[in-house]
Amino acid sequence: MFALSERRRTAEVVRLAPGVRVRGPIVYVPHRDHFFALDPAHEAVVRRLSGRPGRVEGDEVRTLAELGICDTEPRTPHRAFFGRSVVGRLDGLPPVTEPLVVNCFATAHCPLRCTYCHADDLMTGYREQENARWLERVLRVAGATPAMVGVVTGGEPLARVDRTERLVERLAATGKAVVLDTSGVGDLGRIVPLLHRHRVHVRVSLDSADPAVNDALRPANRRFVPLGTSAAGHAREAIRQAVRAGIPCSVQTVVTARTTSVAGLLALRDLLVGLGVTTWVLHIVVPVGKAADPRRAALLAPATAQDVLDEVVRRTAAEGLPIDIRLTGTHRAPNSTLLISARGELAVEDVARSGKKTFVLPRLGLRGAVLRHFRTHVDLEGHASRYLNGTLAAYEPATGAVLTAPAS
């Protein structure tokens, strides 16, 4: 929680930051790819600003500005939040009845064979039949889903750039913030103008600072890319491209038995800070998809994984480094995501069978059907928890790390 300390009360010209999405007490900040839950005092300020800019007094304004939720004149520097998502004081996470995020498959083709792939069942058997009719279904369902954020994923979106371009356009046209979820294997440069136009956040997958460890977890698929293709090399180059182009860029890391060490994660953190990454998302691997195979049990993170992540966050906060950290807690609530397959089906986790349940949706009443399936089959509390760090606990840094605010 964001304690209010040493705040000066001033009257400033304040406006919501560009691209920020608001739904009651929940806000999404695109350049940080992060949701925040607001207490009533902070929610009241945001609600007032949703009308038009104005002069607003109070400590709440400075806190909101430091998080990038609003802009002030004079400018307030942004600060790293070190795992925190609750702004002010709340006794519980806000209830969620509509999806915060929908993950949309641009394609089932993937240049990698990640050892823990949670969506393998939504790719194997889909790839060879992929066609334009399926894409139209994806576009229709994505447009009808009332999520605050649409994630373009797969498969690898850069493997089928033509499909990715259409999906980005559709999500943006229906008012969603857009995130491109990529391994970096492909031609990111081709779509940089599109990403700029729609303020797309690029999220790159990288699991270790050691290329050998990363590439063992995320080996190349020799059906689609040459032998020797390095997932680590492509990920780093995609990060560099995005940072050079001024596109908001984060890294997501799947924490497995191979990567559950404070030293290894701190080495990756330092690499990311050096590359200019300002948001880092950590997921503890979930035993679904490939990771559910008993033969891959050695991949699962040990019981100490959460303690390791807590220590990484604690040290990062104490050092005041300029990188946001988000812990998703998916291992606690595995049935927390909403997906649209490359075939245009709605999909949710089927924890009992370590796979997915899929639903073919009607052409009429599409939005209502999506909401019924979401409310019936997704753990709603888990959905909120996944995107709000899964905890109300606060990491209080010894010093606040100032982040450079991105250009609007």
298, exposed or middle or buried, with CB in 10 Å at 0-12, 13-18, 19+? exposed
The whole-angstrom separation of Cα 354 and Cα 336 is 14
Mean pLDDT across 284-296: 84
Report the pLDDT value the prediction gives residue 322, as an integer from 0 to 100. Answer: 92
Higher pLDDT residue, 357 or 53? 357
Picking from 334, 326, 272, 324, the residue whose alpha carbon sits closest to that of residue 300 is: 334
Report the pLDDT value the prediction gives residue 92, as an integer from 0 to 100. Answer: 84
Provide the residue ranges of all domains of the chain, joining segments of one domain with +.
11-89, 101-387
Distances (CA, A) of 283 to 56, 260, 386: 38, 11, 10
Q: How many residues does the chain have?
A: 408
Picking from 348, 305, 346, the residue whose alpha carbon sits closest to that of residue 329 is: 305
CATH architecture of 101-387: Alpha-Beta Barrel (3.20)
- Collapsing DSSP to helix, strand or coil, 74 comes out as coil
DSSP line for 128-167: GG--HHHHHHHHHHHHHS--SEEEEEES-GGGGHHHHHHH
pLDDT tens profile 167-193: 999 999 999 999 999 999 999 999 999
Secondary structure letter of residue 363 according to DSSP: S
Report the pLDDT value the prediction gives residue 296, as an integer from 0 to 100. Answer: 87
Picking from 24, 58, 59, 18, the residue whose alpha carbon sits closest to that of residue 38 is: 24
Residue 8 in this model has a pLDDT that exceeds 50: no
Residue 389 in this model has a pLDDT that exceeds 80: no
Least confident of 144-148, 204-208, 321-325: 321-325
The two three-digit tokens of residue 270, written as one number: 């330092």
Residue indicated by tokens 């520097």: 77
Mean pLDDT of the chain: 88
The whole-angstrom separation of Cα 283 and Cα 290 is 16
DSSP line for 242-306: HHHHT--EEEEEEE-TTT--HHHHHHHHHHHHHHT--EEEEEE--SSGGGGSGGGGGGSPPTTHH
Note the pTM of the prediction, 2 decimals: 0.91
Distance of CA 278 to the CA centre of its chain: 13
CA angle 389, 393, 397 (to 5 degrees): 100
